[in-house]
């Protein structure tokens, strides 16, 4: 059956080729949501997909109903420990961060990174140090490893199985991994570091900030990755580094696109596939559709702060609800907490909402969002202007992009936000047509491309399977030292030659001047 599907799909799309056997690295949360769509498409096209999954995972459950196979592995850490880590991280980012100074934040981030690394390395142990599992993988005849590198060691497995590696992710802090390990050029004068909240138009001060951000994050990464470097070197039995191993990836599938990013240089093995999870809207459940229709010409506002922040202090939810009660639109609010006292007639709370279907509804006027990439992409896809209330992580930076492109109004701090701010923000986004026009422009750019993002992601994975890698797209920069990369050795050489030539020229002219003056003096004496 699988062979028939594979054969037919190859016949219709490419004419020739082969069906692949894809090994997928485990991941978590929204990363998994994105990855799963790619995996399902791979299966539709007849490939075999095997997902490595730890026996302790918060989000990934070996689900019988899924069509791909799971390969479980043992980890020493249990799900409770992970839950605690995620809670600690959230508490820090949402509640603690603005009470700390920059140095304290950096120290705390270092602590958390270090904890995440320990977790990640204990996962590595579960795979690499289980001879039984490694043998199974070796005998599995895989064609490619597909990895979202929030957890390490996929690079080692690809190396050990001697097969190509395809990365898929959104960004690393200040683009450290892409720049230092992937060799992507990023001039700090106009490429703002990821998470800096800067745009491509920077003042002198902002360029200083961006440069310092790059340098500090590079230094941070070099220190923070030491443990992984050692682990990799020890396992492979030769000196290497995490960065060097990352640099071996054949293709980097980056989950953004030029509707969201500022234009910047990139490399032939970097492909931009943002918005691959977006689909046309499906009909809403009946009672929800009735509520939406009851809004008349005013339309509706869709409101969610993401799946991780389901509850908030009562005082905060009251402030928000009282603001929402003042607008003429109907509001659908995804909120798992207790019903606020100030909830207006026009607002309904839901434990879960079909976000994509609501954003695609013709009555939708605005999207109040925390600024997660998935939500922003759904809004771009359906051309909905946004009111951003960023919480943590990449969210402030994502929303800074949307604000710079004129498709969003951003409220900086939910904790100090006054109801009037929220009302004014919504008024602007809904009543001022420039936001809708910009959202429509981004949406046109998003849809007007040679290949849909999901097809492009699948194409490059299949490309790597068919051609046993894509090393021809990997720039030679990987094999240069830093001074060769910046041509410092060439400059030094040319400078030496120039100095030598100038020196000789200077000496000669001195000699010449002396002689001619000497002669003329002699001449004048004779005269």
Q: How far apart are CA 195 and CA 411, in angstroms?
A: 17
Residues 284/358, Cβ–Cβ less than 8 Å: yes
Q: Does 467 bind ligand NAG (CB under 6 A)?
A: no
With respect to ligand NAG, which residue has the nearer C-beta, 174 or 384? Answer: 384
Between CA 428 and CA 380 the distance in angstroms is: 18
| Least separation in angstroms between CB 366 and ligand NAG | 8
State the nearest-atom distance from the C-beta of 354 to ligand NAG, in Å: 23
Answer for which of 39, 145, 343, 430 binds ligand NAG (CB under 6 A) is: 430
The dihedral of CA 60, 395, 419, 361: what is its sign?
Answer: negative
Question: Angle at the Cα of 405 (from 371 to 174), degrees rounded to 5?
Answer: 60
From candidates 114, 279, 432, 479, binder to ligand NAG by CB under 6 A:
432
Is position 236 an interface residue for ligand NAG (rule: CB under 6 A)?
no
Binding of ligand NAG by 427 (CB under 6 A): yes
CB of 487 to ligand NAG, least distance (A): 44
CB of 440 to ligand NAG, least distance (A): 15
d(CA 340, CA 188): 46
Q: Tell which one of 228, 327, 383, 454 touches ligand NAG (CB under 6 A).
A: 327
Residue 156 vs residues 72, 106, 113, 376: alpha-carbon distances, Å: 18, 29, 20, 34
Interface with ligand NAG, residue 438, by CB under 6 A: no
Closer residue to ligand NAG, CB minimum distance, 279 or 431: 431
Verify binding: residue 139, ligand NAG, rule CB under 6 A. Answer: no
CB 355 within 8 A of CB 304: yes
Give dist(CA 370, CA 35) in Å, integer: 22
Among 21, 41, 74, 106, binds ligand NAG (CB under 6 A): 74
Residues from 328 through 357 that contact ligand NAG (CB under 6 A): 328
Secondary structure of 258-303 as H, E, C letters: CCCCCCCCCCCCEEECCCCCCCCCCCCCHHHHHHHHCCHHHCEEEE
Report the residue number, 56 or 465, with the smaller CB distance to ligand NAG. 56
Q: Which stretch binds ligand NAG (CB under 6 A): 7-15, 88-96, 127-135, 310-318?
A: 127-135
Q: Does residue 189 interact with ligand NAG by CB under 6 A? A: no
DSSP 195-231: TS---SS--HHHHHHHHHHHHHHHHHHHHHTHHHHHH
269 touches 250 (CB < 8 A): yes
Q: Which of 76, 418, 420, 434 binds ligand NAG (CB under 6 A)?
A: 434
Q: Which stretch binds ligand NAG (CB under 6 A): 91-99, 214-222, 381-389, 424-432?
A: 424-432
Using CB under 6 A as the binding rule, whether residue 132 contacts ligand NAG is answered as: yes
Decide: is 133 part of the binding site for ligand NAG (CB under 6 A).
Answer: yes
CA-to-CA dists, residue 226 to 58, 121, 196, angstroms: 27, 13, 24
Residue 130 makes contact with ligand NAG by CB under 6 A: yes
Number of chain positions touching ligand NAG (CB under 6 A): 13
Residues that bind ligand NAG (CB under 6 A): 73-74, 130, 132-133, 327-328, 426-427, 430-432, 434
């Amino acid at each position: 059956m699988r062979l028939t599907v594979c054969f037919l799909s190859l016949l219709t799309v490419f004419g020739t080729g082969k069906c692949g056997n894809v090994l997928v690295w485990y991941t978590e949360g929204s990363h998994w949501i994105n990855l799963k769509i790619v995996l399902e498409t791979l299966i539709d096209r007849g490939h075999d997909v095997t997902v490595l999954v730890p026996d302790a995972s918060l989000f990934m459950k070996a689900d019988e109903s899924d069509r791909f196979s799971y390969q479980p592995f043992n980890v020493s850490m249990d799900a409770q420990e992970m839950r605690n880590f995620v809670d600690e991280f959230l508490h820090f980012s949402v509640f603690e961060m603005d009470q700390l100074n920059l140095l304290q934040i950096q120290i705390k981030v270092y602590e958390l990174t270090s904890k995440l690394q320990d977790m990640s390395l204990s996962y590595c142990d579960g795979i690499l140090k289980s001879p039984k599992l490694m043998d199974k993988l070796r005998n599995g005849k895989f064609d490619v490893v597909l990895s979202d590198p929030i957890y390490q060691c996929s690079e080692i497995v690809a190396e050990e199985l001697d097969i190509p590696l395809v990365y898929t992710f959104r960004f690393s802090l200040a683009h450290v991994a892409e720049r230092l390990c992937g060799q992507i050029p990023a001039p700090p004068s106009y490429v703002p570091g990821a998470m800096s909240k800067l745009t491509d138009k920077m003042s002198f001060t902002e360029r200083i900030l961006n440069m310092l951000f790059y340098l500090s994050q590079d230094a941070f990464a070099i220190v923070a990755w030491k443990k992984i470097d050692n682990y990799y070197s020890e396992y492979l039995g030769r000196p290497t580094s995490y960065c060097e191993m990352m640099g071996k990836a054949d293709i980097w599938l980056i989950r953004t696109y030029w509707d969201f990013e500022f234009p910047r240089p990139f490399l032939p093995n970097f492909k931009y596939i943002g918005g691959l999870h977006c689909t046309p809207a499906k009909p809403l459940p009946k009672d929800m559709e009735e509520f939406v229709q009851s809004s008349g010409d005013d339309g509706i506002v869709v409101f969610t702060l993401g799946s991780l922040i389901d509850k908030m202090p009562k005082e905060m939810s009251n402030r928000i609800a009282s603001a929402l009660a003042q607008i003429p639109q109907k509001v659908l609010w995804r909120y798992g907490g207790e019903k606020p006292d100030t909830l207006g007639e026009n607002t309904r709370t839901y434990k879960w909402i079909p976000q994509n279907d609501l954003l695609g509804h013709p009555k939708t006027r605005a999207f109040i969002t925390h600024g997660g990439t998935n939500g922003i992409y759904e809004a771009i896809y359906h051309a909905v202007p946004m009111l951003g209330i960023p919480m943590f992580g990449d969210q402030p930076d994502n929303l800074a992009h949307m604000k710079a492109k004129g498709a969003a109004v951003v409220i900086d701090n939910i904790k100090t936000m006054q109801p009037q701010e929220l009302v004014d923000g919504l008024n602007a986004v809904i009543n001022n047509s420039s936001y809708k026009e910009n959202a429509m422009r981004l949406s046109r750019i998003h849809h007007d491309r040679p290949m849909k993002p999901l097809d492009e992601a699948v194409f490059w994975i299949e490309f790597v399977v068919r051609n046993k890698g894509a090393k021809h797209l990997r720039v030679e920069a990987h094999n240069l030292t830093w001074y060769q990369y910046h041509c410092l050795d060439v400059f030094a050489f040319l400078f030496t030659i120039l100095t030598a030539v100038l020196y000789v020229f200077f000496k000669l002219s001195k000699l010449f001047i002396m002689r001619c003056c000497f002669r003329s003096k002699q001449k004048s004496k004779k005269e």
